[in-house]
Amino acid sequence: MGCMTICRNQSNVLDGTCSGIGCCEVEIPERVSNFNFTVKSFNNHTKVWSFNPCGYAFVVKKDKFSFSSAYLSNPQFNETVPMVLDWTIRDKRCENPANKSDYICGGNSTCYSPTNGYGYRCKCDEGYDGNPYLPTGCKDVNECRHPNLNNCTSPKRCINTEGNYTCSCPKWHSGDGRKDGESCTLNLGFVNKIAIAGGVGFIVLLVSISWMYLIIKQRKIIKLRERFFRQNGGTLLCQQLSSQENSVETAKIFSAEELKKATNNYDENLIIGQGGFGTVYKGLLSDDRVVAIKKSKLVDKSQIEQFINEVLVLSQINHRNVVKLLGCCLETEVPLLVYEFISNGTLFEHIHHKGSLSPISWETRLKIAGETAEALSYLHSAASPPIIHRDVKSSNILLDGNYTAKVSDFGASRLIPLHQIEVATLVQGTLGYLDPEYLQTSQLTVKSDVYSFGVILVELLTGEKALSFDRPEEQRNLAMYFLSAIKEDRLFEVLEQNLGIERNEKQLKEVANLASRCIKVKGEDRPNMKEVAAELEGLRKIDKHSWVNVGSNSEETEKLLGETSDPYKHDATINSSVVYDSMKDDAIVDFDDAR
């Protein structure tokens, strides 16, 4: 056997391979008992090839030598490489021994034939270890001293035997004690019956304790709900409801379980609104009514009686433009209020979320303004006792599928005692809509709602938010910027462009005049909501009966609209002592003959 290598140029040599260029290799076949090396050259290459001064050969374990072209010019004669000797004893095989006495395997060992094709070898029997070629042979291995050599379930129950081991089981158990065998099982007998009875008794005791725990926990929940019910004025509310049994409809007291089921345990995916006074969830009652459930923030315990009065009053309000309060739940730490569900979002979304909702026309905006004014007028004048909403804003005006306005969110509302025109309170509301006079004096009046409604009118006219820090500083407060535009006769510069200005010019001027009077700084200079609702209704009637000759029926028109003063015909003076009172000289409309 042999191999041949050629190499004319060192640059042709491939490192890491003995493919025949600079280096070649050949495997030593089986059953070779001796061999020698001979390195020959067909031509005296040492004279011709200066980069390769000599040739050499060696034995190395397969795949353990990596050839390099550098070896051609600088052989590493002192480098060591691994070599494997594949050896056997003589030329006999275990399957056909010529003389069995010739085998030299010692005691506790076995003869076996290797895979190289001739001779034999010896190995220790299982459970023994040592040198199988010594006359004494292999020695027993104590498997119990090494946990990894036995598979007993317990190392303490391992018993060593000659060439093997056994495992035992504890008292009252049977089996082979091995992990991979029958292991150890409890004997069925008197002791087992006692153990089983004890186990059953323990399970019964555990079930009984769990049952008692659940009963006690349920009783605690019931007592806690009863405590919340009393704290939240449930007893007082029940008494009030019982006295109103003859009324058409009263507030229903819902259980905590009813509303928990209706909202799928107050699933976050059912949240339809969040604000300063709580979170609103969409819910489905057991009678398939879709409702809005408001989870309020903590309620002042000193205000419980007033809260109950508000629930009673609001539940009896039956106005088409006020969101109906269906009832409440007082079994939770904070009261839950249940309202009718309005499906078409808020006025704020329709005005300001451009692109996500279809724009609403000026006629629809005027209709929404009139309906909102009627609702607030009802709360101020027809409700008994009168109600101040205190948080009138476009996001609290809900719209149904026909764009009918519904005033909502009475979380900040206050009831006005009879024969009292103002109430001293902590200031609450939303910046941009907040009455500046109320902000300075903390005296809440119905004119505070008028100011907030005036801001909504300005939103409907301009399409801008009541307060925005994205606008220039002089335009951040929409009400003040609008008053400034009115004063400078720039109304049509600030109006939203899709209102049909040319077609609705007169209406837009009248509504702008009304809005400017509603947002006057002094409450006494503002009209009341009844007057506002009447003027808006008059404007809507003119729009509906466009066949009326306004020029030839000026007297009738004045009766319908009231004797309005045109803010564009005179200059308003600026009161230097009150920064916001830029429209104080505007005339107030007399509505004595409006209806």
Amino acid at 131: N
Peptide bond into 82 cis (omega under 30): no
Catalytic residue from among 63, 125, 180, 391: 391
Task: Tell me how far apart the 2 most distant CA atoms of the chain are, in Å.
Answer: 146
Q: Which helix (H) or strand (E) holds 167?
A: strand 164-167
Q: Is the peptide bond before 385 cis (omega within 30 degrees of 0)?
A: yes
Residue 326: strand, helix, or coil: strand
User: Helix, strand, or coil here: 94?
Assistant: coil
Rounded to whole angstroms, how far apart are CA atoms 436 and 452?
A: 10
* CB contact at 8 A, 16 and 66: yes
- What amino acid is encoded at 364 in this protein? T
Residues 342/347/352/355 CA torsion (nearest 10 deg): 50
**CB contact set of 63 (below 8 Å; sequence gap of 6+):** none
Q: How far apart are CA 308 and CA 312, in angstroms?
A: 6
The Cα–Cα gap between 470 and 475 comes to: 9
pLDDT in tens, the chain (595 residues): 888 888 877 888 888 888 888 889 998 887 777 788 888 887 777 666 777 777 888 889 988 888 888 888 777 667 788 988 778 887 677 865 545 667 788 889 988 888 777 788 899 999 999 999 998 889 999 999 888 888 898 888 899 999 899 998 887 777 888 887 777 877 766 666 777 888 888 999 999 898 998 888 878 777 777 777 766 666 666 666 665 555 545 678 888 888 889 999 889 899 887 766 678 899 999 888 999 988 876 666 655 665 666 676 677 778 899 988 888 888 777 778 888 898 888 899 898 876 656 678 899 999 999 999 999 999 888 877 788 888 899 988 999 889 999 998 776 566 565 445 555 556 677 889 999 998 888 888 889 999 999 999 999 999 899 998 888 888 899 999 999 999 999 988 899 888 888 888 888 999 999 999 999 999 899 999 999 999 999 988 876 655 444 443 444 444 444 444 343 333 332 232 222 232 333 333 333 333 2
Which of 346, 298, 294, 340 lies closest to 320, judged by CA?
A: 340
Quick one: how many helices (H) and strands (E) in the chain? 15, 20
Q: Which residues define the annotated binding site?
A: 295
DSSP state of 378: I
Query: How far is it, in rounded angstroms, from Cα 572 to Cα 580?
Result: 12
Pairing assessment for the beta strands 397-399 and 443-444 based on DSSP bridges: unpaired
- Report the alpha-carbon angle 495-496-500, nearest 5: 95
List Cα–Cα distances, 180 to 5, 147, 157, 584, in angstroms: 59, 14, 15, 99
CA–CA dist 585, 420 (Å, integer): 28
Q: How far apart are CA 497 and CA 326, in angstroms?
A: 40
How far is Cα of residue 186 from the mean position of the Cα atoms in its chain? Answer: 52
Count of beta carbons in the 10 Å neighbourhood of residue 10: 15
pTM reported for the whole predicted model: 0.53
Query: Is residue 470 flagged as an active site residue?
Result: no
From residue 75, give the alpha-carbon distance in Å to each of 46, 51, 72, 123, 475: 14, 11, 6, 42, 90
Question: What residues are designated binding site for ATP?
Answer: 295
